[in-house]
Structure 1
Amino acid sequence: MSDFLKHECGVAAIRLLKPLSYFQDKYGSTLWAFNKLLILMEKQHNRGQDGAGIGCVKLNMPLGQPYLFRTRDASKDALTTIFNGQIKKLNKKIRRGQVNLKDAEDIKNNFDYGGEILMGHLRYGTSGLFDEGSCHPYLRRTNWPTRTLMVLGNFNMTNTPELNQRMIERGQHPVFGTDTQTVLEEIGYHLDEAHTDLYRALRDSGMPGPEIPHAISSQLNIQEIIHNSAQRWDGGYAIMGAIGNGDYFCLRDPHGIRPCHYLITDEFIAVASERVPLMTVFEVESEQVYELPPANMLSIKADGTHAITEFTTPLKPTPCSFEKIYFSRGNDPIVYRERKALGAALTPQIVDSLEDRFDKSAITYIPNTAETAYYGLLEGLRVYRRKRVHAQLLEALRNGTLDEKMLDSAILKRWPRGEKIAHKDIKMRTFITQEKSRAQLVSHVYDLTYGAVGPEDVLVAIDDSIVRGTTLKKSILRILGRTNPRKIVVASTAPQIRYPDCYGIDMSELGNFIAFQAAVSLIKQHGKGRLLEEVFQACKAELAKPREERRNCVKAIYNGLTDAEISREITRLVTPHDAPCPVEVIFQTIENLHASIEGPCGDWYFTGDYPTPGGYTTVNVAYMRWFEGKGGRAYDLPL
Structure 2
Amino acid sequence: MCGIIALLLSNPEIMASVELFEGLQMLQHRGQDAAGIVTCGYKGRLYQCKGNGMVRDVFNQENLQRLVGGLGVGHVRYPTAGSSSNSEAQPFYVNSPYGIVLAHNGNLVNAEELKNSLDVKAHRHINTDSDSELLLNIFADNLQQTGKFRIYEEDIFTAIKGLYEQCTGGYACVAMIAGFGIIGFRDPHGIRPICYGIRRSHEGFDFMFSSESVVLDALGFTEIKDIDPGEAVIVTRQAITRRKLVNWGELTPCIFEYVYFARPDSVINGISVYRSRLEMGEHLANQVMKECGKNSDIDVVIPVPDTSRVAALQLSHKLKIAYREGFIKNRYVGRTFIMPGQQMRRKSVRRKLNAMALEFADKNVLIVDDSIVRGTTSKEIVQMARDAGAKKVYFASCAPPVRCPNVYGIDMPSRRELVAFNRDNDSIAKEIGADMVIYQDLNDLIASCQKFNPHITSFDCSVFDGQYVTGGVTDEYLAHLEKDRSDLAKSSRESLQSPDTIGLHNFLHTSSQSYFERNGWNGVMGVNGVNGSN
On whether the aligned pair clears a TM of 0.5, the verdict is yes
Per the alignment, do residues 623 and 165 of structure 1 end up closer, same or farther by CA in structure 2, a change over 3 Å counting? Answer: closer
Matched, 1:190 2:142: yes
CA-CA distance at 1:359 after TM superposition: 7.2
- The reply on whether 1:241 has 2:179 as its aligned counterpart is no
354-363 or 457-466, which moves further after superposition? 354-363
**Which residue number in structure 1 is paired with residue 384 of structure 2?**
479
Match of 1:294 among 200, 216, 229: 229
Judging changes above 3 Å, is the alpha-carbon distance between structure 1 residues 157 and 307 closer, same or farther for their aligned structure 2 residues? same
Aligned pairs for 1:513-524 (under 5 A) are: 513-518=418-423
Report the CA distance shift for 1:253/1:470 in structure 2 as closer, same or farther (over 3 A): same
Shift of 1:618: 6.5
Could you tell me how far 1:347 is from its partner in structure 2? 1.2
Residue 122 of structure 1 aligns to a residue in which SS? Answer: strand
Question: Which residue of the partner structure matches residue 208 of structure 2?
Answer: 270
SS of the equivalent of 1:505 reads: coil
Residue of structure 1 aligned with 2:191, choices 253, 257, 267: 257
**Counterparts in 2 of 1:84-233, with a 5 A limit?**
84-87=61-64, 90=65, 111-113=66-68, 115-142=69-96, 147-170=98-121, 172-175=123-126, 177-194=129-146, 196=147, 198-199=148-149, 216-218=150-152, 221-233=155-167
Instruction: Identify the range of structure 1 (435-444 vs 123-132) with the bigger mean alpha-carbon deviation.
Output: 435-444
Paired with 2:109 and 2:333, the residues of 1 have a C-alpha distance of: 35
Looking at structure 2, the residues matched to 464 and 219 of structure 1 have their Cα atoms a distance apart, in angstroms, of: 43
Residues 28 and 55 of structure 2 are in contact (CA less than 8 Å); yes or no, is this contact kept in structure 1? no
Cα 1:79–1:369 change in 2 (3 A) is same
Measure, in 1, the Cα distance between the counterparts of 2:475 and 2:98: 35
Corresponding residue for residue 46 of structure 1: 29
What corresponds to 2:264 in structure 1?
Answer: 330
Query: Shift of the alpha carbon at 1:240?
Result: 1.4
Letter paired with 2:260 = Y
1:500·1:622 contact (CA, 8 Å) conserved in 2? no
The structure with more radius of gyration: 1
**Number of residues paired by the alignment?**
472
Q: In structure 2, what is the equivalent of residue 611 of structure 1?
A: 469
Q: How far 1:372 moved relative to its partner?
A: 0.9
Report if aligned partners of 1:262, 1:270 keep a CA contact under 8 Å in 2. yes
Aligned to 1:593: 445
Structure 2: gaps of 5 or more residues: 491-534
Do structure 1's residue 17 and structure 2's residue 10 form an aligned pair?
yes
Q: Is the 8 A contact 1:499 1:619 kept in 2?
A: no
Distance apart, 1:191 and its partner CA? 1.5
Q: CA deviation at 1:226?
A: 1.2
Aligned AA (1:464): D
Whether the aligned pair in 1 keeps the contact of 2:233 and 2:240 (CA below 8 Å) is yes
Higher strand share: 2
Q: What SS does the corresponding residue of 2:322 show, helix, strand or coil?
A: coil
Q: CA deviation at 1:352?
A: 4.2
Answer whether contact 1:294 1:314 (CA < 8 A) is retained.
Answer: no
After superposition, the Cα gap between the structure-2 partners of 1:376 and 1:69, relative to the gap in structure 1 and judged at 3 Å, is same
Secondary structure in structure 2 of the residue aligned to 1:338: helix
Task: Find the residue that maps to 1:466 and give its secondary structure.
Answer: coil
1:77 to 54, 59, 68: 54
Aligned partner of 1:571 in structure 2 is: 429
Partner Cα distance (2:210, 2:414) in 1: 29
Question: Structure 1 unaligned runs (5+)?
Answer: 1-7, 21-29, 91-110, 200-215, 383-415, 519-565, 576-581, 634-639
Identity %: 24
| Cα gap change, 1:437 to 1:11, in 2 (>3 Å) | closer
Deviations 1:5-51 (A, max 9, x none): xxx1001111123443xxxxxxxxx44x3322221111111112111
CA separation in 2, counterparts of 1:440 and 1:137?
31
Query: What RMSD in Å do the two structures reach over aligned CA positions?
Result: 2.6
Tell me how far 1:610 sits from its aligned partner. Answer: 0.8
Residues of 1 paired with 2:419 and 2:477: CA distance?
A: 16
CA contact (8 A) 2:105 2:171 kept: yes
1:510–1:623 contact (8 Å) kept in structure 2: no
Q: Once the two structures are superposed, what CA deviation does each residue of 1:426-477 show, in whole Å capped at 9, x if it has no partner?
A: 244565534234423423432222233453x32101000001112222x111
CA contact (8 A) 2:10 2:206 kept: yes
Counterpart of 2:209 in 1: which secondary structure? Answer: strand
Which region of structure 1 is more displaced relative to structure 2, 331-340 or 217-226?
A: 217-226
